[in-house]
Amino acid sequence: MNNKCDIGVIGLAVMGQNLVLNINDCGFSAAVYNRTVSKVNKFLEDAAANRSTIIGAHSLEEFCNLLKRPRKVLLMIKAGSAVDEYIEKLLPFLEDGDCIIDGGNSFFKDTARRTNYLKEKGILFSGTGISGGEEGARRGPSILPGGNPQAWPLLKDIFQSICAKTPAGEPCCDWVGSDGAGHYVKMIHNGIEYGDMQLICEAYSLLKEALGMGYPQIAETFHNWNKTELDSFLIEITDKILRFKDDDGQIFLEKILDTAGQKGTGIWTSQSSFELGVPVTLITEAVYARGVSSRLDERIKASSILKGADAIPAYDKISMVEDIRKALLASKIISYAQGFMLMEAAAKEYSWNLDFGNIALLWREGCIIRSVFLDNIKDAFRKDADLQNLLFDDYFSRILADCQESWRRVVCAAVSSGIAAPAFCSALSFYDAYRCPRSSANLLQAQRDYFGAHTYERIDRPRGEFFHTDWAG
């Protein structure tokens, strides 16, 4: 090939390989490089065989020389120090106006730092969240680019070609915002992913433990739910997982150890919620639930020491299944509302101009949390760009009104059956606390003032005036 390549990709793990093939299918030529260079040859011989517009490089210098200017270098490598190392190694071979894109799950503050650092060196940096796993990378992921805004015109054509499209044909890729905004929104996506997964797991354990349903029945239930407002990728794969059998005919799920792993993006979401003072209770419960699950030995010991409910009450199966569906839907609304509350606070704190309707659209297809539900979120923010909270939108407040009695019954059932349902419970507690015009925090303020003279405000005086009482006389 005489012409230089449209883009270069560093990192040929599965995500990297699949993105290169997707880029190439969309008509763009790509140079590829991998630290273990034998992987480059292997990729060219196997997955990329007979593709004359995918060119392998065996050094970073050769790689950079293969690229059209301004160069576009997409890093598909492990988040963390490896990104900084590659930036340093690339710099000698890059020129003013070239662009580095970090497509990993990097921490948004690192992305902001890298954007500024590279700006000083005349290089454009884009921290780009890419969601959808291996299949998404191959067929069309959701792409969330942020960083130096001057990078966007260089990336738009390629990214909007390779990304997923909504049923209406809109690309699930658009500029998210400056410095760390793209990676921040990807982090929130992952946090919401943790919440959705936890809710599905709680519904599963109630169907299994409280209602005594078998795998085929539970799978059928998720299958049916996927035809309702819950229609989503995660419900769809849950149905499939529950039907999946091992070679010996047994349900495969039975053989998987019940200790959840995590790479950290859910924890970052919770940390950000603490930093910005936003109650993201459901995602945080989902993070803690993974932590509890990982204490397997302790849980086994505790199961023989700590007493549970005497008996599981008898429930009417048909009505309880519908109650659980409604509890899942209502809790999911709370989780997304909290996620958007956090993004709103982050937009203020970091001076990002986040378009929430657009973010819902970017998540509509391609990513792990893709769902029909995101259309309703997009509509809510399109209808009212200043919507203070998703829960104030008519569509969502009506669903919550319709679901709340079921939701309460499910939380009661979980509690009285001794089945942990932290996400359902915390979502309902948030709902009740959020809609409470006069809370018990007056007592809390009095306690703080009593023991520490921390002062309080009064209901009969303007906000901002603080008082102290000598409570003990």
Q: Which residues here bind ligand 6PG, judged by CB under 6 A?
A: 105, 131-133, 190, 193, 261-263, 265-266, 367-368
One-letter amino acid identity for 257? L
| 104 in Cβ contact with 75 (< 8 Å) | yes
Question: Between the CA of residue 253 and those of 166, 241, 243, 249, what are the distances in Å?
Answer: 32, 7, 9, 12
Least Å from the CB of residue 403 to ligand 6PG: 27
Least Å from the CB of residue 15 to ligand 6PG: 8
Least Å from the CB of residue 204 to ligand 6PG: 17
Q: Closer to ligand 6PG at the Cβ: 135 or 298?
A: 135
Question: Between the CA of residue 265 and those of 194, 200, 234, what are the distances in Å?
Answer: 9, 19, 18
- Distance in angstroms (rounded) separating the CA atoms of residues 125 and 74: 10
Least Å from the CB of residue 61 to ligand 6PG: 31
62 burial class (0-12, 13-18, 19+ CB within 10 angstroms)?
middle
Residue nearest to ligand 6PG (CB): 131
Token duo for residue 66:
């293969």
| 186 in Cβ contact with 149 (< 8 Å) | no
Q: Kindly give the pairing relationship between strand 7-10 and strand 30-33.
A: parallel
- Distance in angstroms (rounded) separating the CA atoms of residues 247 and 192: 34
- E strand or H helix that includes residue 210: none
- Distance in angstroms (rounded) separating the CA atoms of residues 114 and 125: 7
- Distance in angstroms (rounded) separating the CA atoms of residues 271 and 123: 30
- Distance in angstroms (rounded) separating the CA atoms of residues 185 and 354: 9
Residues with a catalytic annotation lie at 186, 193
Partnered with residue 101 across adjacent β-strands are 74, 126
Q: Closer to ligand 6PG at the Cβ: 141 or 147?
A: 141
Least Å from the CB of residue 5 to ligand 6PG: 26
Least Å from the CB of residue 193 to ligand 6PG: 5
Q: Closer to ligand 6PG at the Cβ: 135 or 246?
A: 135
Tracing tokens 């019940």 back to the chain, one arrives at 258
Q: Closer to ligand 6PG at the Cβ: 159 or 396?
A: 159
Q: Closer to ligand 6PG at the Cβ: 137 or 411?
A: 137
One-letter amino acid identity for 410? V
Q: Closer to ligand 6PG at the Cβ: 105 or 221?
A: 105
Q: Closer to ligand 6PG at the Cβ: 256 or 385?
A: 256
- Distance in angstroms (rounded) separating the CA atoms of residues 156 and 146: 12
DSSP code of residue 71? P
Least Å from the CB of residue 258 to ligand 6PG: 15
